[in-house]
Amino acid sequence: EPIGIFDSGVGGLTVLKELRRILPYEDIIYLGDTARVPYGIRSPETVTRYSFECTEFLLSKKIKLLVVACNTVSAISLKEIQKKVSIPVVGVIEPGARAAVDSTKNGKIGIIGTEATIKSSAYFKAIKAISEDLEVFGLACPLFVPLVEEGWTNGIIVRLIVEEYLKSMLEIAVDTLVLGCTHYPLLKGVIQDVMKDVSLVDSAIETAKVVRKVLEEQGVNSNEQGVRGQGRLKFYVTDSTDKFVSIGERFLQSKIE
Ligand code: DGN
């Protein structure tokens, strides 16, 4: 049985990339709701309604585990999705929060994400639930998503925008910064340059590790190469495929067929 993964658009391909890297033999079905992206600006009710529709579509494909790759959906609708389905559901917030707690030494953690993710305080709550004593600072960086989708992931303009947004994080002197949005791993180079010695937490990588653990616990992992080699990847989108493929290949760093 395949793993199902959905996102509001192409962004979740950063999570798929990490899943693929550490679970190469799993079949994976990806759904990008490209017709309705971005979710980051919508009301919680609408985000939940859209994500139920994505969940139902993937369940109809008989998946064994669901990954909610979108930070916005994970922040707002994860619990409701978990209540609705009987298979394991893994979101991106909890894994990122846990990695941040493990990483910080000075107790100051920064979170960057979309307006909706930051407004939901989901990372804040997830970190506080692990350790009360930590300080958590959230910051929305709404220009990062369109920059990345335009393919602007380095150069002087990007650098200036990143510097302007992250100025406050440098002033606060966080020692750990969570990339709380699917698109931000593509800006990792510039963000690391600007933030100097601060540890960056990539939620996509942390989520893939949790998925591997859950599959192992349930005894439903496909870690055998078997006769057909690598697992199959299948992509579905709710809008035209052209743009998804051209932008998506940059996110996935491999061909989309
Ligand atoms: N996938 C969204 C997220 O991780 O928050 C970013 C894209 C969006 O819907 N704005």
Between CA 136 and CA 208 the distance in angstroms is 24
Nearest to 23 by CA among 53, 5, 3: 3
- In a mutational test of the pocket of ligand 1, which residue from 6, 13, 30, 70 has the highest number of ligand atoms less than 8 Å from its CB? 70
The token pair that represents 86 in the structure block: 């009987």
**How many other C-beta atoms lie within 10 A of the C-beta of residue 40?**
24
Between CA 167 and CA 9 the distance in angstroms is 29
Q: Is 145 a pocket residue for ligand 1 (Cβ < 6 Å)? A: yes
Separation of CA 219 and ligand 1 centre (Å): 31
Residue nearest to atom 2 of ligand 1 (CA): 70
Q: Is 37 a pocket residue for ligand 1 (Cβ < 6 Å)? A: yes
Q: Which atom of ligand 1 has the smallest separation from the CA of 38?
A: 9
Separation of CA 234 and ligand 1 centre (Å): 21
Q: Which atom of ligand 1 has the smallest separation from the CA of 40?
A: 10
Q: Is 10 a pocket residue for ligand 1 (Cβ < 6 Å)? A: no
DSSP H or E stretch at residue 257: none
Nearest-10 crossing angle of helices 71-84, 44-59: 60
Separation of CA 205 and ligand 1 centre (Å): 16
Q: Is 34 a pocket residue for ligand 1 (Cβ < 6 Å)? A: no
Contact indicator for 116, 41 with CB cutoff of 8 Å: yes
Nearest-10 crossing angle of helices 93-103, 203-218: 110
Separation of CA 225 and ligand 1 centre (Å): 33
Sheet holding 135-140, edge to edge: 135-140, 108-113, 176-179, 199-202
pLDDT tens, position by position, for the chain (257 residues)?
999 999 999 999 999 999 999 999 999 999 999 999 888 888 899 999 999 999 999 999 999 999 999 999 999 999 999 999 999 999 999 999 999 999 999 999 999 999 989 999 999 999 999 999 999 999 999 999 999 999 999 999 999 999 999 999 999 999 999 999 999 999 999 999 999 999 999 999 999 999 999 999 988 887 666 556 789 999 999 999 998 999 999 999 999 98
Between CA 257 and CA 252 the distance in angstroms is 12
Active-site residues, by number, are: 70, 181
